Amino acid sequence: MTAILRGDLVARELDDATRIEVERLRADGIDPSLAVVLVGEDPASEIYVRRKRLAAEAVGIRSIEHRLGAATSQQSLLALIATLNADPGIHGILVQLPLPPQIASDEVLGAITPHKDVDGFHPVNVGRLSTGTGGLIPCTPLGCMLLLDRVIADFRGLKAVVIGKSNIVGKPVAMLLLERECTVTITHIHTRGLPEIARTADIIVAAAGSPGLVRGDWVKPGAVLIDVGINRIAREDGKTVIVGDVAANECDHAAVLTPVPRGVGPMTIACLLRNTVQAARLALA
């Protein structure tokens, strides 16, 4: 029988620790503050930005939102980022993705000063992750590792298969698994023989953005499944539901599975808040 690893419950514990850290920072004269920049009116982004604001306020982090129109130029966005970089009262900066087509995301993400880059997407933080030299760790990959820490005591030598090669999840989570001395195979939906490769895994991190991709016969008995997928699909009754990348109903021979929703998603937000207090602590140094 599969153990369901509820990310929303683990996130709540993380938030309790973050709340205490916020109080400590306040006592040291720092009011941890997160600036979230939203460009355009993407409905999913609205949901996530709202969730981030509510979660930040619940732990005492000041959340400031900057909403720009969909036609905003890259230059105007870069000017706002420069202002936020220079503002000593702002400790974390997050520019909600995706951005409208006229804006080059990598230029924008590269413009955020690395010590305020609470997404961990800046090349400096990516480099620090790759070399294991500190820095801010991307929220979803960090959330995956904190969930795995709940069920795995010793990672050394375990076989991990990451499905998905995005800069946001696939590549960084593979690095974190490597740091733990797993043997890591990074795959993607075009990988030939993907089911056979997945079947060798003690740990599967499914981050391909492909609903129900990981079938039951891709999973060896006793494997641990981290489902990062957040796929919105329309049901027969026309309602939109969120499903993961794992065909959960076929995987009751797995040892552990994170559900979608209430799995990795809430951990992403909890780790954003944790990164924000880490960045604020840096401001004290």
Is 230 known to sit in a ligand binding site? yes
**Tokens 């870069």 sit on residue:** 78
Longest dimension (CA), the chain: 56
- In the complex, least distance from residue 203 CB atom to ligand GUE, rounded to whole angstroms: 20
Compute and round to an integer the Cα radius of gyration of the chain.
Answer: 19
Q: Is 74 a catalytic residue?
A: no
The CA distance from 177 to 155, in Å, is 8
Tokens of 279: 């960045």
What is the size of the binding site for ligand GUE (CB under 6 A)?
A: 18
Say which amino acid occupies 158.
L
Stretch that binds ligand GUE, among 13-21, 47-55, 70-78, 275-283 (CB under 6 A): 47-55
Interacting positions 223-252 with ligand GUE (CB under 6 A) = 230, 242
Q: H helices then E strands: how many in the chain?
A: 9, 11
* Residue from 97, 124, 152, 283 binding ligand GUE (CB under 6 A): 97
Would you say 103 and 45 are in contact if contact means Cβ atoms under 8 Å apart? no
- 64 labelled ligand-binding: no
Q: Does 130 belong to an annotated binding site? A: no
Distance of CA 269 to the CA centre of its chain: 7
Separation between Cα atoms, residue 92 and residue 280, nearest integer Å = 7
Nearer to ligand GUE, 190 or 239 (CB): 239
266 sits near ligand GUE (criterion: CB under 6 A): yes
Residue where the block lists tokens 């400590």? 24
Provide the 8-state DSSP code for 257. E
Spatial contact of 146 and 11, defined as CB atoms under 8 Å apart: no
Residue 52: active-site member: yes
Which single residue brings its beta carbon nearest to ligand GUE?
265
Question: Any alpha helices (H) in the chain, and if so which ranges?
Answer: 7-27, 43-59, 74-86, 105-111, 123-131, 139-151, 170-179, 194-199, 264-284
Of 15, 116, 117, 119, which is the active-site residue?
119
Does 269 bind ligand GUE (CB under 6 A)? Our answer is: yes
Q: What three-state secondary structure class fits 283?
A: helix
Q: Does position 80 bind ligand GUE by CB under 6 A?
A: no
From 34, 77, 94, 161, residue interacting with ligand GUE (rule: CB under 6 A): 94
Q: In the complex with ligand GUE, which residue's Cβ is closer, 50 or 215?
A: 50
Q: Are strands 33-39 and 62-68 parallel, antiparallel or unpaired?
A: parallel
Which of 47, 104, 282, 284 is the binder for ligand GUE (CB under 6 A)?
47
Report the distance separating Cα 18 and Cα 272, nearest Å. Answer: 10
Q: According to the binding rule CB under 6 A, does residue 51 interact with ligand GUE? A: yes
Does the annotation flag 137 for ligand binding? no
Strand, coil or helix: 226:
strand
- 14, 48, 201, 205: residue in contact with ligand GUE (rule CB under 6 A): 48
Q: Is 165 annotated as a binding residue?
A: yes
Q: For residues 51 and 188, which CB has a smaller minimum distance to ligand GUE in the complex?
A: 51
Over the window 127 to 156, marking each residue x when it contacts ligand GUE by CB under 6 A and - when it does not, the resulting string is ------------x-----------------
Asked if the peptide bond before residue 32 counts as cis, ω within 30 degrees of 0, the response is no
Interaction site with ligand GUE (CB under 6 A): 47-48, 51, 94-97, 119, 139, 230, 242, 260-262, 265-266, 268-269
Give the annotated binding-site residues for NADP(+). 164-166, 189, 230
Q: What positions carry a catalytic annotation? A: 52, 96, 119
